[in-house]
Structures are given as structure tokens and as C-alpha cells.
Chain A
């Protein structure tokens, strides 16, 4: 027997911090990175007498997610207390949702390499408060409560994933979707997007699920794959040794690349959930539900771009980064729909390159998308040669200067005005009697020679088309 005779069954639980300004139950800031215990108040410190006051913005964002993933959104859901003792949990309980979450059902669309979209079903989405942070030292642990009370959505997926690869695909798609919705920053390092995985294995073909193990503390996509793969192998090996898989919670160790059981054995964690008496039920009226706008998800934007005639590869590159796809949209807005492909080339080419080289920050760009459209227009008008257009574009992206001004300063404008060119043409003809003879005798390919001479005199800024026409007019 080998790993291939076994089928992994994987379900993921994601905790995503919501991008509200203030915490879920108090007015403290949610900004990341402040000095320890400087963004706290009686409520998030769990002081005697303090009470929670629900933040409307948090509910708005949960509704957005619910609508985007096609969940059933409850008109009345209920807050519940999850009771356990831990130093980063100031009240001794976490306010969460248990029996009646705000969202049930729905699915996360996961774009597939073949261009299709796989829907991974969700069990539920519920709201809850984050805990603080314990920093473990050698002698003692320090408790920082800045994060206590930061709003979270817990997104619980059905155990429909069958490999570490599928798991990380799902996570990437979910993360990107939340970023598109503007409700999460997708930052795994800062812990604003966290993942726990429930993993079990069963013999291929078998229907009944194996004992599941919960993996915690997975904080990068690489680790997700590593952790799950390692855990699958561990479980298979155990079973094949004739051992039983124990139902337990295991931590992923980034250094060793393996999982180990958590040492803190919560007494059969009996959380004693009960409805939070300090908060009214969470009521979302149909009116409110109707008012919440939901931005398009990546796979929807992708479909639109392909329909607009973009190659799938460009569409994929653009939608992979909400900033790129947004920039593309704004350029097309200014340059007109027919400029779609051209805009895509610029964004996936020049722009993407500059971003990767660190020469451009799209969260604070110096340029206006309309300026890129303007460069297109100058090129179409013939004011810019294709090579000159490239230079101007690069300059625009770097400096945000008006294209016209750049053309001015660099003197890149083509001379297309006939009256200006005629004198040069006449000069060339006057200076080259022999070539003129030969031409008239039939050596038509000398036209190139004349144009070349004129170009030399014009330092390459002459419009080649116009010059050709003028010479023909004079000599034929």
C-alpha cells in the first residue's frame, strides 16, 4: 500500500480580519503594528462593568461576503459566548456566533487552470471577535491586547477538498475574493488571513470518513501545502503501521516542516456556549440587505475581459492582481472599449515590469490612467512614432507628467506638416541631380535614398509617410 491508495479529505476554516476602522464591539482602532496595549479600552480589556457595542460596519462586510458567495443571510442571527480561559482572552469568553450564524451555505468560486470555475461549498460564515496576542518568553509570557476585539469572519468550508494542491487553490481564490470585496487585506504574515485545516484520510472508494486531525497555525500558502501533505503521509503511515489516528489538534512547525500535537490539553474543550445576554440578536432587515453593494469577483471580471476580446492569459494576469485589473479598467474608460487589448499590453507589460522592479507603487501611482490613454491618442494622430510612444509612456508612469509636456521637453514630436517638409524635399532634390536622373530613368528604389537624406536633415523626426508622398509628387 502507498499514499496513492488513500484519499485525503480536507476542510478548511479561515479566520479573516475585516477592514473596519474600529473594533467589533468598541471604538478602538484596528490599525496593525501599534505599540503593545495602546489601542485598548475598558471593553476590549474586559474591565469590570464594560459592555459590547456592535459596530454596524462589521455587519455590512459580513453581508457583502454572504451575498458574493451566495449564502443564505439570516434576518435574525444570535451572538453566543464561547467560554474558555487564556491570557489573550480578557473576558474569559469570546463573543462569537454558534447555533445561528449570519450566513449559511453558499460556495467559493475557484478558477481552474482550464479556464473553468469550481465551486467549493461553504458550511457557514459567522462573525466573532479576535483575541489578543501572547508573546512567549523564556521566563514568562507577555500579553498585548491591541488585537483583542478586532472583527473576524470565520469562513467554514465543506470537506470537499481532496489534495493539498486543491486546498491551496481554494485558499488563494478565497483570499483574492475577499480582497476584491474590500473586506480583508489578505495579509497572511500579519495574521489578518489565517487558516486551520481539518485533515483525514480514507481508503480510496470508501464512503466513511476517517478520524480527523485539526492543523493550526498555518501562515503561508507554502506551509498550507507542506502541512497538509505531511499530515496526510503521517496519517497513512500510522494506519499502515496498524495504529489509530487520534482525534487531536496539531500545530505546524515551520522550521521542521512537520506537525506536532499541541501541548496545552484543554479539558475536552467544553466551551459552554450560550446566547450573549449583553447584545440584542443580530437583525438584518431586507431593506439593509438590499442596500449593500457587492463588487464583482475575480472570475466575473475575468469572464468580462475575455468576452471583451482579451486573450485568457492576459485576462488571468490582470485579474490575479486587483490593482492591475482596476488600472486596466480605468485606462479603457478613458481610451474607449477598442483600446482594451492595447491597455492590457501596457498593464501586463510595461506597468507589471515596473511594479516588479519596484519602480512603481500602484497603491499610490503618480500618473493618471487617462494620461496613458492620451499617449495612445498621440500615437494614433501620428504625433508619436511607436518607439517615441514607448519612451513617453515610460516617462508618464515614472513621473506622472502630462504626455504633451514630455513630448515637448524631449522634442519627440514627428514633423508631418507638408509645408515644413517641402523645403527639405526640394533641398534634397536640388543637391542630388545624378540620383534624380537615375530615378527618372526608372530606378524607383532610389526613393528610399531621398527619404533617408531628408530624415537625416530632419534628425529622424520627419513623418516617413508624408515624405514618401512628397518625393513621389515632385519626381513622378
Chain B
């Protein structure tokens, strides 16, 4: 299945990835290639089959829940230590327009 550059551009925007024109071109080709390979799945009969959406042991689902108890988090200096931009109390980003 071929995939055009408009689609690639839309998907790249959803994924917040800036692509150069040349990358768009290559991505369109490579994704098309992979999707062609994936097309083989259309032949598989999945009627009445439940998706395997949880890979673990669902029978333990109720037992593993956490009790509602507060434990201290991270000290703020550690919270902000790795931030590219911060003002001592918060992370800083370019002004957001609503």
C-alpha cells in the first residue's frame, strides 16, 4: 500500500516530528514498503477473535491494586534538576496560546 506525502505530513504533525522534504519523501517510500509487507495480515480470518489487549494475568487485576496511602514524592530541586528551562519553582515553556 503506497502512502502519500500529505499523509506523512499529517502523521508527522500528530507525532510532533519536523521532517525535511527529503525525509518526507523517504518516509513515504519506507512506510509504504513496510505497509505492503503488513498487508498480508488482511488474509487472516479474525472473525470472532478477541484482541489480546492485556499481556499479563488479568485474574490478578483486583488483587494488585494499591491502597490509598500518601508517600512523599521527590524534592523539588531533584524534580527540576534535569529541566532544560526552569525558574526554581516550575518548568518553563514558550508562551502557550489558548
User: Is A–B contact present in the complex under a CB 8 A cutoff?
Assistant: yes
Which of A's residues lie within 8 Å of B, judged by CB? 20-22, 26-29, 35-42, 44-45, 53-59, 78, 85, 87, 134-145, 251, 262-264, 267, 270, 272, 275, 277, 280-285, 288
> How far is the CB of B50 from the nearest CB of chain A, in Å?
12
Determine whether B89 belongs to the interface, using a CB cutoff of 8 Å to chain A.
yes
User: B4-38 CB contact bits vs A (8 Å, 1 = yes)?
Assistant: 00000010011010000000000000000000000
Given A277-B55, A282-B61, A138 and B95 contact (CB-CB distance below 8 Å): yes
Chain B residues with Cβ below 8 Å from A284 are 62
Determine whether B76 belongs to the interface, using a CB cutoff of 8 Å to chain A.
yes
Query: Across the interface, do A263 and B95 meet the contact criterion of CB distance under 8 Å?
Result: no
A57 to B91, alpha carbons, bound, how many Å? 30
- Of the four ranges (under 10, 10 to 19, 20 to 34, 35 or more), the interface on chain B belongs to 35 or more
A40 to B82, alpha carbons, bound, how many Å? 14
> How far is the CB of A63 from the nearest CB of chain B, in Å?
12
Chain A residues with Cβ below 8 Å from B64 are 280
Determine whether B80 belongs to the interface, using a CB cutoff of 8 Å to chain A.
yes
Most interface-central of A78, A251, A280 (chain B CB within 10 A): A280
User: B37-75 CB contact bits vs A (8 Å, 1 = yes)?
Assistant: 000000000000000011111101110111111110110
Chain B residues with Cβ below 8 Å from A281 are 54, 58, 61
Q: Is the interface of B mostly helix, strand, loop or mixed?
A: loop
Query: Across the interface, do A57 and B68 meet the contact criterion of CB distance under 8 Å?
Result: yes
> How far is the CB of A57 from the nearest CB of chain B, in Å?
3
Query: Across the interface, do A22 and B70 meet the contact criterion of CB distance under 8 Å?
Result: yes
Query: Across the interface, do A27 and B71 meet the contact criterion of CB distance under 8 Å?
Result: yes
> How far is the CB of A115 from the nearest CB of chain B, in Å?
39
Query: Across the interface, do B65 and A45 meet the contact criterion of CB distance under 8 Å?
Result: no
B98 contact from A45, A57, A251, Cβ within 8 A: A251
Listed from nearest, the 6 A-B pairs whose CB atoms lie closest are A57-B68, A280-B61, A142-B90, A27-B71, A41-B73, A283-B61
Most interface-central of A37, A56, A87, A275 (chain B CB within 10 A): A37
Given A54-B65, A55-B66, A141 and B76 contact (CB-CB distance below 8 Å): no
> How far is the CB of B13 from the nearest CB of chain A, in Å?
6
A12 to B54, alpha carbons, bound, how many Å? 33
Chain A residues with Cβ below 8 Å from B56 are 280
Determine whether B2 belongs to the interface, using a CB cutoff of 8 Å to chain A.
no
B93 contact from A40, A141, A264, A272, Cβ within 8 A: A141
